[in-house]
Amino acid sequence: MSHGIPYNNEPRPDTGLYNAKLGIWLFLASEVMLFGALFTSYVALRVGANSWPTGEEKGLNMWLAMTNTFVLIASSVTMVMSWAALIEKNLSKYRLYMGITILCGFIFMIIKAFEYGAKFSHGTFPREDTFMAIYFTLTGLHGLHVLGGMAVNAYLWGPGAKMWHTDPVRFTNRIECAGLYWHFVDLVWIFLFPTLYLMPGKHP
């Protein structure tokens, strides 16, 4: 218990929440505003443009992105399963599921890196047009969020897991909060994928 701060691990009766859970939801609300602003920019740039390409026309690979969608959805399932394992007090099951979650994150980033690499080697950079600009910014920022989540998950899989032996309730709560963040990252991609890869174009 850090400095005797109340409701660190046990929920406060009237809100039903422990502190970190409220904290992470508030943070996610701010992230909604961040990605919302970028989606708004997509809309504004598109509405103001005379013509707007489809993802396919710009050489975006829909099948790779669909694979990535499946990968992230799977990682969301394994993330919540890792939390459930801790409820069952099964640390090795937790490690297995958390490990798969991190692995899925790796696969996502590798596919992303491949996509970016293919673009760059064809000389397609963000400055080419506003579609590529918003594509790289949206997916790039999302990718950074995936990396951040992977780093936290890796810590909680490795050295952070020591807390299971000293304060299992607090550790379980940490996994729940990390899970909330990871699910949000998945949620953003669920909207990103159709917007960038599947939206019909606009031709004068």
Partner 1 sequence: MSAEHGDTSKLVKKYMMVFAALIGGTILTVAVAWVHIESFAIAVLIGLFIATVKGALVALYFMHLSAERRLIYNVLILASIFIVVMVGLIMWTEGDQQVVKERNGAFSVLPEKKPAAHGAEHSEKKH
Partner 2 sequence: MSTHAAHDDHGHHHEPFWRKYIFSVDHKVIGCQYGITALIFLFFGFCLVMLMRWQLAYPGEAIPLIGGWLKGFRTSEGVMSPDFYNELGAMHGTIMVFLGVVPLATGAFGNYFVPLQIGAPDMAFPKLNMASYWVYFCGGVVMLASFFIPSGAAQSGWTSYSPLANLTNPGSLWTGQTMWLMGMLFLIASSLLGSVNFIVTIVQLRAKGLTWMRLPFFVWAQLVTAFLLLLAFPPLQGAGVMQFMDRVFGTSFFLPDGLVVGGKALEVSGGGNVLLWQHLFWFLAHPEVYVLILPALGIVAEVIANNTRKPLWGYKSLVYSVIFLGFMSFVVWAHHMFLTGMGTTINTFFQTTTMIISVPSIIILTALIISLYGGSIRFNTPMLFALAFLPMFGIGGLTGLPLGLSTSDIYLHDTYYVIGHFHYVVAPGTLFALFAGIYYWMPKVTGKKMNEGLGKLHFWGSLIAINGVFMPMLIQGLGGVHRRWYDGGLTYTHAQDFLFWNKVMSHSAWLLGAFQLVFIINFFWTIFRKRQEATSTHDADNPWQSTTLEWAAPTPPLPHVNFVQVPEVFRPPYEYSVPDNDKDFVPQHEPELAEKK
- Site residues (vs partner 2, CB under 8 A): 2-7, 12, 15, 17, 19-20, 22-23, 26-27, 29-31, 33-38, 40-41, 44-45, 48-49, 125-130, 133-134, 136-137, 141
Burial readout 108-142 (b: 16 or more C-beta within 10 A, e: otherwise):
bbebbeebeeebeeeebeeeebbbbebbbebbeeb
List 6, 15, 23, 57, residue binding partner 1 (CB under 8 A): 15
Measured CA to CA, the distance from residue 153 to residue 155 in angstroms comes to 5
Structure tokens at 33: 């505003």
Measured CA to CA, the distance from residue 30 to residue 27 in angstroms comes to 5
Shortest Cβ 93–partner 2 spacing (Å): 30
The answer to whether residue 38 forms part of the interface with partner 1 (CB under 8 A) is no
The answer to whether residue 34 forms part of the interface with partner 1 (CB under 8 A) is no
Shortest Cβ 157–partner 2 spacing (Å): 21
With respect to partner 2, which residue has the nearer C-beta, 104 or 138?
A: 138
Nearest Cα neighbor of 43 from 130, 151, 140 is 130
The answer to whether residue 48 forms part of the interface with partner 1 (CB under 8 A) is yes
Among partner 1, partner 2, none, the one that 16 touches (CB under a kind-dependent 5 to 8 A) is partner 1
- Report the phi/psi class of residue 123: left, alpha or beta, with left for phi > 0 and alpha for psi in -120 to 50: left
